[in-house]
A and B are shown apart, each in its own frame.
Chain A
Amino acid sequence: MRQCLTAVVDRNVTWDGDFATEPWEAAWAREAIFFVRLLAADGEPAPDQPVLAGRVQLSPDGMHWCDEGTELRLAAGQGLGLARVSHFGGWLRLRGTIAPGVRLRVIAYLTLKD
């Protein structure tokens, strides 16, 4: 049976401006999905702009990071978004920016499977 683990990497936290989830070790896994679910939102983004623009990052050591290329975007009114990645080595995190004037309260998950 395959191993699968869902980590709650942020829970009921407020994101505004720039954000990054804590470094997460995932060397045992082959595939991963970041989920971000909105619990509450204040403010409106500019027209046609996402409230959240995130990108998956990889690291060899948990301290130095580079973009993997996969993005996670939440449009205004969207309650749940995801970013799916594979072949990522040892560490994962989600980094991004909340639209100016917007504050989000979120719960963020990292679902890993070998």
Chain B
Amino acid sequence: MATPGGASRGPFAPLSTVLCSDDFDAGLQGWTGLIGNYEDSLDNMLPQYADLRPPMLSNATVWDTGTGGSAAGTYAMKLATRPRRGSLAVGIKRLTYRQAGLIQLEALFAFKPEASHLRLSETDVGSVGLLFDLQDERQRVMPHLRYLNALDGEAVGRWQFKRRAPGFADIGTSGQTRSHYHLAPEDWEDLPGGGQLLCYNEIATKLNWHYLRLGFDLGSMSYAYLQCNDRHFDVRPLEPMRMPAMANLWCMLNVAFWVEAGTDKRAFLYLDSIVLSADLHPCASA
């Protein structure tokens, strides 16, 4: 594998300070699977968290043309669901922030179903999404966005957001552990003007990479901008999920991506690279 050193800027336009730049040619670089909270036993985890599939490193090999490689090198982070409708795969990176300013997440991504049938299969991936999980001194804020590719076998092609926070459940008996499942298929709302057709291509093994950019202001805890390829969406009026600050999450800056199977077929999301950057004032960047 390549010498560690991160991605070149390539197609990205990061803010003044690059917080991380992951091209996955030197491992998963801090991206890992998501698990629900538990106490004493894995059995008391919320059941929706029990089997979120973790990330792997992929060189995007397909049965008919062999290795495709990634957008920036050989390897990409791959999220792969089980072959079951509604199965999710999630990759998360857990950081903290040092200044409550503008942050920007950029990525190249591509999604496909497993090429297990020699058909177009363009509605087999249900959705792909991304989130921040943030906390300041007052509140925990969870901006969630997804691209709903298809629903019940019908093409949709629309960006959505979620503002309604699910309730918390107590986990175990100590009173210290709580959990909420925020990736449920319920409570997604359409982005105004959020329809977008992506480049699925013409068979299940042809993979096209898409550019994604999300800006979020940690100062006002509000959306700043969203871009996918040539489309810019006005996300400033959108509300993220908000809830009171929790006991152990100060300055949390988590980033996650996920993919959801729309049918009983594995759904794959490839990411390469992922660049997180911030606008830091000089006193904080020194």
Contacts and interface: CB of A to CB of B under 8 A. Distances in A.
**Dominant secondary structure of chain A at its interface with chain B:** loop
Interface of A: 3, 5, 7-8, 11-13, 22-25, 27-28, 39, 60-64, 90, 114
A49 B96 CA distance: 51
Among B57, B75, B266, the one with the most A-chain Cβ atoms within 10 Å of its Cβ is: B57
A13 B51 contact: yes
Contacts of A63: 63, 114-116
Nearest to A107: B42
Give me the 6 closest cross-chain CB pairs, A-B, nearest first.
Answer: A61-B63, A12-B42, A25-B58, A3-B27, A25-B56, A27-B59
Nearest to A63: B116
30 contacts: A3-B1, A3-B26, A3-B27, A7-B54, A7-B56, A11-B42, A12-B42, A12-B43, A13-B51, A23-B80, A24-B56, A25-B56, A25-B59, A25-B61, A27-B57, A27-B59, A27-B61, A27-B67, A28-B1, A28-B57, A28-B59, A28-B75, A60-B63, A61-B61, A61-B62, A62-B114, A63-B114, A63-B116, A90-B59, A90-B61
Interface in B126-158: none
Contact of A22 (B35, B53, B115): B53
A12 B51 CA distance: 9
A23 B114 CA distance: 11
Interface of B: 1, 26-28, 33, 35, 42-43, 50-51, 53-54, 56-59, 61-63, 67, 75, 78, 80, 82, 114-116, 266
Contacts of A23: 80, 266
Nearest to A114: B1
Given A22-B53, A62-B114, A5 B28 contact: yes
Majority secondary structure, B binding face: loop
Nearest to B115: A63
A48 to B, nearest CB: 32
A45 B43 CA distance: 25
Contacts of A8: 33, 54
Contacts of B33: 8
Contacts of B43: 12
A14 B234 CA distance: 46
